């Protein structure tokens, strides 16, 4: 009877236990293995020489963070591709982001990696108990803890990422040309090392509290009595949006965040406590007469298409007593921070008196003033009188500047005269972005063709670019990193995940190959 190579983790654990009782030596390899090439085959053959049974575990699709359009092949295809190799005895899917947990479950005698992982040690980082450590170090500690050892193969190496970057259609041609030009000025390591300089920045983040909810539905038959499309409710998920999402993005790069916002009597406080990252000091005010805004989006689960959006309230109406307390909090926090990030979604949090307090400070100000279904035409960026860095989408600058069809430089320069901003970043969807900095323009194409969800991407771009601009990064790098952030953000649903330095470093490393 032929052996079934592809196994569930539970079954594989039992198989390994039996094989060990029979005296077999277990060898374990783990990775993405997106395109199985000659280098992989040599790696597996060399690994098999270290024992009797070779097990290969594969990274789940959702944990593959190697740039736009990755993985190229689904987890099922990747597992079955590997199982076809004669030297491989068993294949399973890893349920975790790293191999640490699965090593502890399978308890291999030898855990095998290619020598190239040592070169990527400063990129492939994970969060350990005592801070960040290299992924390979965490895996080595895991295999040693179960009585095994780490072994490196010395076979010829190829890069699946480089191969895919050359053949994939998920990266626009314009982006490939752009990457080529950038590589002549910067290496991936240059960029990654500069990102580490953001760690000490102290940030005040202030803005609207929003809870994002995604409700997944399945289409049924048309109603028998009325011309309605009926849907069956499947499940839903809550996400920390608005000012919380921006704070989480920033917390991925620096550990000093003061968050100020106001919530209603449906505060979702317990939910939020589990969603905010370490390093965020919260100053949450309660307005009992109002409700925290929940933006509920109904999604066709099969098509992954949004059907409609429902606002649970019109936002927060700040009372005079609360307004005074929040202003006192702002004044108390300002001396402790280097810069201010204002995320104004136009839902009532930022009153004119609060804005005056923020504008009167001498701190670096980064600003977004969003136009959305709840405030269109009533939340223009011109209600602010200064900013050092501004990030908007094209509509958010054209509408207040009353420039519908002109070249994008026209509204940018009009806004600059009003707010005297050193840097203005405009995101333009599939057309990429344009950054204005002290009279010069820096254009960058979109880095991906197939966004999953654009909700929250602008907030992610604003959050990281505000840090870069405060730190004085080369504007060309600011523009590049902004589009990296956008490409990462549109690959996840809404604000389900925030961006951090580990993910950014991996993305930069892989697209710059």
**Cβ of 236: how many Cβ atoms within 10 Å?**
14
Confidence band of 4 (pLDDT split at 50, 70, 90): confident
Is a pLDDT exceeding 50 seen at residue 166? no
Residue 122 has pLDDT above 60, yes or no: no
Instruction: Quote the pLDDT of residue 133.
Output: 65
What does the pLDDT look like over 378-406, one tens digit per residue? 999 999 999 999 999 999 999 999 999 99
The answer for residues whose C-beta is within 8 angstroms of residue 97's C-beta and 6 or more apart is 63, 126
Q: What is the pLDDT of residue 98?
A: 87
| Rounded Cα distance, 164 and 509, in Å | 14
Picking from 351, 234, 223, 393, the residue whose alpha carbon sits closest to that of residue 302 is: 234
- Nearest CA to 489 out of 179, 281, 239, 202 is that of 239
Q: Are strands 256-263 and 280-286 parallel, antiparallel or unpaired?
A: parallel
What is the enclosing helix (H) or strand (E) of 162?
helix 160-167
CB atoms within 10 A of CB 478: 24
Neighbours of 390 (CB within 10 A): 30
pLDDT band at 226 (very low <50, low <70, confident <90, very high): confident
What percent helix, strand, coil does the chain show, rounded to 5? 40, 25, 35
The residues that bridge with 94 in the sheet, in sequence order, are 59
- Give the model's pLDDT for residue 170: 60
Does residue 362 contact residue 227 with C-beta atoms inside 8 Å? no
Q: Say what the pLDDT of residue 449 is.
A: 77
Q: How many CB atoms lie within 10 A of CB 90?
A: 24
Q: Please, what's the b/e burial string for 199-221 (b: 16 or more CB within 10 A of its CB; e: otherwise)?
A: eebebbbbbbbbbbbbbbbeeee
Residue 252, exposed/middle/buried by CB under 10 A (0-12, 13-18, 19+)? buried
Tell me what the mean pLDDT of segment 191-196 comes to.
92
**Among 132, 240, 135, 258, residue whose Cα is nearest residue 195:** 132
Number of residues assigned to the chain: 513
Rounded Cα distance between 9 and 189, Å, is 36
Query: Which of the pair, 309 or 64, is modelled with greater confidence?
Result: 309
140's enclosing H/E stretch is helix 135-145
How confident is the model at residue 1, as a pLDDT? Answer: 42
Phi-psi group of 131: left, alpha or beta (phi > 0 → left; psi -120 to 50 → alpha; rest → beta): left
Residue at token pair 């204005």: 436
Instruction: Give pLDDT, residue 134.
Output: 76
Please choose, from the candidates 101, 57, 99, the residue with its C-alpha nearest in 3D space to the C-alpha of residue 82.
57
Q: For 5-33, what is each residue's pLDDT tens digit?
A: 999 999 999 999 999 999 999 999 998 88
pLDDT in tens, 429-485: 989 999 999 999 999 999 887 788 899 999 999 999 999 999 999 999 999 999 999
Q: Which one has a higher pLDDT value, 165 or 432?
A: 432
DSSP H helical ranges for 285-335: 320-333
212 has a pLDDT exceeding 70: yes
Mean pLDDT of 224-251: 90
Tokens 């899917």 -> residue: 93
Helix (H, G, I), strand (E, B) or coil at 117: helix
* Section 475-500 average pLDDT: 92
One-character DSSP codes across 84-110: TSTT--EEEEE-SSSSHHHHHHH--SE
Q: Identify any residues that bridge with 433 across adjacent strands, giving them in sequence order.
A: 427, 444
φ/ψ of 389, rounded to 5, equals -140, 135
Question: pTM for this structure?
Answer: 0.75
Please, what sign has the CA dihedral across residues 34, 36, 39, 43?
positive
Cβ 435 vs Cβ 423: under 8 Å: yes
Check pLDDT > 70 for residue 143.
yes
- Supply the pLDDT for residue 169: 54
Specify the pLDDT at position 479.
96
The helix or strand, by DSSP H or E, that contains position 509, with its residue range, turns out to be: helix 501-511
Q: Domains in the chain, ordered, with CATH?
A: 9-167 (3.40.50.620), 192-208+243-285+326-511 (3.40.1190.20)
Using CA atoms, how far apart are residues 295 and 242, in angstroms rounded to an integer? 10
Do 196 and 254 meet the contact criterion of CB atoms below 8 Å apart?
Answer: no
């Amino acid at each position: 009877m032929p052996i079934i190579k592809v196994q569930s983790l539970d079954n594989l654990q039992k198989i390994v236990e039996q094989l060990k009782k029979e005296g077999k030596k277990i060898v374990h390899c783990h990775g993405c293995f997106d395109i199985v090439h000659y280098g992989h085959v040599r790696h597996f053959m060399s690994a098999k020489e270290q024992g009797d049974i070779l097990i290969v575990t594969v990274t789940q699709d959702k944990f593959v963070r190697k740039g736009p359009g990755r993985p190229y092949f689904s987890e099922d295809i990747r597992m079955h591709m590997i199982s076809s190799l004669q030297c491989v005895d068993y294949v399973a899917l890893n349920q975790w982001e790293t191999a640490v947990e699965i090593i502890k479950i399978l308890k291999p005698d030898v855990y095998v990696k290619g020598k190239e992982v040592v070169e990527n040690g400063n990129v492939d980082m994970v969060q350990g108990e005592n801070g960040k450590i290299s992924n390979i170090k965490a895996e080595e500690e895991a295999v040693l803890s179960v009585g095994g050892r780490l072994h490196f193969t010395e076979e010829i190496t190829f890069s699946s990422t480089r191969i895919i970057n050359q053949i994939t259609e998920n990266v626009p041609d314009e982006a490939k040309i752009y990457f080529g030009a950038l590589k002549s000025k910067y290496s991936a390591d240059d960029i990654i090392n500069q990102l580490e300089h953001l760690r000490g920045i102290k940030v005040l983040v202030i803005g609207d509290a929003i809870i994002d909810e995604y409700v997944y539905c399945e289409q049924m038959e048309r109603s028998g009595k009325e011309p309605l499309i009926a849907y069956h409710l499947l499940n839903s998920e809550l996400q920390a949006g608005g000012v919380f999402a921006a704070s989480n993005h920033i917390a991925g790069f620096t550990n000093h965040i003061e968050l100020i916002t106001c919530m209603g009597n449906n505060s979702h406080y317990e939910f939020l406590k589990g969603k905010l990252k370490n390093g965020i000091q919260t100053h949450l005010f309660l307005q009992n007469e109002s409700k925290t805004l929940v933006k509920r989006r109904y999604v066709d689960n099969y098509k992954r298409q949004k059907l409609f959006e429902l606002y649970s309230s019109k936002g927060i109406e700040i009372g005079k007593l609360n307004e005074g307390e929040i202003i006192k909090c702002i004044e108390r926090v300002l001396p402790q921070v280097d810069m201010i990030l204002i995320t104004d979604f136009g839902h009532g949090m930022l009153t004119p008196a609060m804005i005056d307090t923020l504008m009167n400070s001498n701190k670096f100000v980064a600003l977004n003033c969003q136009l959305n279904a709840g405030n269109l035409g009533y939340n223009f960026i011109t209600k602010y009188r200064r900013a050092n860095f501004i990030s908007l989408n094209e509509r958010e600058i054209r509408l207040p500047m009353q420039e519908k069809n002109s070249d994008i430089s026209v509204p940018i320069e009009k806004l600059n005269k009003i707010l005297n901003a050193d840097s203005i970043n405009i995101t333009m969807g599939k057309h990429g972005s344009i950054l204005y900095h002290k009279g010069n323009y820096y254009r960058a194409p979109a880095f991906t063709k197939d966004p999953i969800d654009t909700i929250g991407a602008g907030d992610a771009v604003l959050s990281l670019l505000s840090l870069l601009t405060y730190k004085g990064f080369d504007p060309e790098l600011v523009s590049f990193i902004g589009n990296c952030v956008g490409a990462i953000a549109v690959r996840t649903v809404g604000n389900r995940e925030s961006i951090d330095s580990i993910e950014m470093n991996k993305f930069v490393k892989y697209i710059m190959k």
